[in-house]
Amino acid sequence: MDIVVASRNLGKVAELKRLLEHLSVNVLSLDDFDDIPEIIEDGETYEENALKKARVVHQATGKIVLSDDSGLEVNALRGRPGVRSARFGGDDLTDYERSMKLLDEIKETPENERGATFQCRLAIVGPNGMEKVVSGSCRGSIIPAPRGGSGFGYDPIFLPSEYNHTFAELSPEIKNRISHRGRALEKAALFLDGYIYSQMQK
């Protein structure tokens, strides 16, 4: 069974592939298709964006599609960048530049007021009107300077609660267990397990 991850972000696709490797599925990405239209993520919520991407890609491929929309909500910024995390500061910035812009905006914020939460909404869209949205979150704080060379996005500046290492310093196994995306995908995997089992009984 094929499952399409609705992303061209290599870091995200690799992360989702690792999280799905226990299922008997073939994981594809948007780079495996030539005719996927450009999808504008203009929703006001993570769920809207995740469902929009999943529906468009399912319509184009006919396959089960997994699509997530995630964001970093910083308390000192009143929840920003949130749903705009991937475009924070402009479309042309690198992950590093976005992280540095965020750090600059909270540089006067005391360490004990740098709380933040990663949020994820993961949509599954498939044949016969199948739609499911699951969520995951991870609380932590923003450190003063980037640390670590793994991960992507804001991983080098996010310190998950109860850990002394950023997402970018943790092993993939630990990060996948505690991250917002890992927690959402754990729920998605349970749903897909049930779906795959039901298809095998037909």
Tokens of 97: 């530049």
Distances (CA, A) of 102 to 63, 83, 201: 37, 14, 50
Q: Where are the alpha helices (DSSP H) in 62-169?
A: 95-105
Q: Where are the alpha helices (DSSP H) in the chain?
A: 10-20, 46-61, 95-105, 172-178, 180-200
Active site amino acids: 69
Question: What tens digit of pLDDT does each residue of 68-124 get?
Answer: 999 999 999 999 999 999 999 998 999 999 999 999 999 999 999 999 999 999 999
Task: Tell me the pairing of strands 64-74 and 115-126.
Answer: antiparallel
Q: Average pLDDT for residues 171-183, to the nearest whole number?
A: 90
Distances (CA, A) of 200 to 90, 96, 163, 191: 46, 45, 41, 14
Crossing angle of helices 10-20/180-200, nearest 10°?
A: 50
- CA torsion angle 150 94 41 173 (round to 10): 0
pTM over 0.85: yes
Question: What tens digit of pLDDT does each residue of 123-160 get?
Answer: 999 998 899 999 999 999 999 999 998 888 999 999 99
The CATH label, of 3.90.950.10, 3.50.50.60, 3.30.70.60, 3.20.20.70, for the domain at 2-200 is: 3.90.950.10
